[in-house]
Amino acid sequence: MMKIMESGKLNLAVLASGRGSNFDALCRAIEQKDLEAEIKILISDKKDAASLVKARRRGIDAFYIPPRNYRNRDEYEAVIVEKLRERGVNIVALAGYMRLVGKVFLDAYKNRILNIHPALLPSFPGLHAQKQAVEYGVRYSGCTVHIVDEGMDTGPIVMQSVVPVYQDDTEESLAERILAEEHKIYWRSLQYFAEGRVYLDGRKVYIAEK
């Protein structure tokens, strides 16, 4: 059993490809002192990501880094890692970041890159998780915060929240119900790290009692 990090305020980086509602929820948790963290930087791989604007409005350094400017994923991730290290980032939250993470990034932040996924993993990994759940006909879905590994949505699970799926649900209505839970469990999961309570044993995460 291995402790992932000691307690202390988090120096957080957020990576986001889209609208940034999870980023906003993290900012609110920090403002309300529910989450002991400072967001040092936001990085997006999409030029028109609303999350970039949201971060800048809050006075957070925000960068669009276009992957196609680099020869391969290693080079792209080396640039990201450099920016994070310059700012003393010690933990990373993927918040709607629609890209697989590679070896350079994983090695630099081993067990310290978290992701939120809009399904109860290991069900419905990958894209359009809410659509997958509606089409499959499950009665419950939800969201998962997990530690990122080399797979797609395969890493050790930190926290999950369950929501019902109704017979008349659409992808959109289910996504909205799930999103409300995402906004509750991401900062809670991160706060466990800030409290130095997260342990890893193989692929199992243990949260120590306070």
- E strands, the chain, where? 2-3, 10-15, 37-44, 62-64, 91-94, 113-117, 140-147, 157-164, 198-201, 204-207
- Minimum CB distance to ligand GAR, residue 32 (Å): 18
| Residue 20 binds to ligand GAR (criterion: CB under 6 A) | yes
What is the DSSP code (8-state) at residue 72? S
Our CB check for ligand GAR shows the closer of 138 and 179 to be 179
User: What sign does the CA torsion over 56, 23, 207, 124 have?
Assistant: negative
In degrees to the nearest 10, what's the CA dihedral of 73, 75, 76, 82? 140
Task: Write out the binding residues for ligand GAR, residues 120-159 only, by CB under 6 A.
Answer: 129
| Residue 95 binds to ligand GAR (criterion: CB under 6 A) | yes
Q: Which stretch binds ligand GAR (CB under 6 A): 4-12, 66-74, 114-122, 201-209?
A: 114-122
- Minimum CB distance to ligand GAR, residue 98 (Å): 6
List all residues 6 or more positions away from 72 whose beta carbon is below 8 Å from its beta carbon: none
What is the DSSP code (8-state) at residue 69? G
Task: Write out the binding residues for ligand GAR, residues 27-86 only, by CB under 6 A.
Answer: none
Report the residue from 29, 52, 116, 120 that binds ligand GAR according to the rule CB under 6 A.
116
Q: Which stretch binds ligand GAR (CB under 6 A): 1-9, 31-39, 110-118, 161-169?
A: 110-118
DSSP-based three-state secondary structure for 79 = helix
Our CB check for ligand GAR shows the closer of 14 and 206 to be 14
List all residues 6 or more positions away from 18 whose beta carbon is below 8 Å from its beta carbon: 46, 49, 50, 51, 96, 98
Report the residue from 10, 43, 45, 96 that binds ligand GAR according to the rule CB under 6 A.
96
- Minimum CB distance to ligand GAR, residue 13 (Å): 15
CA distance 150 to 34: 30
Binding-site ranges for ligand GAR (CB under 6 A): 16, 18-22, 95-96, 116-118, 129, 179, 182
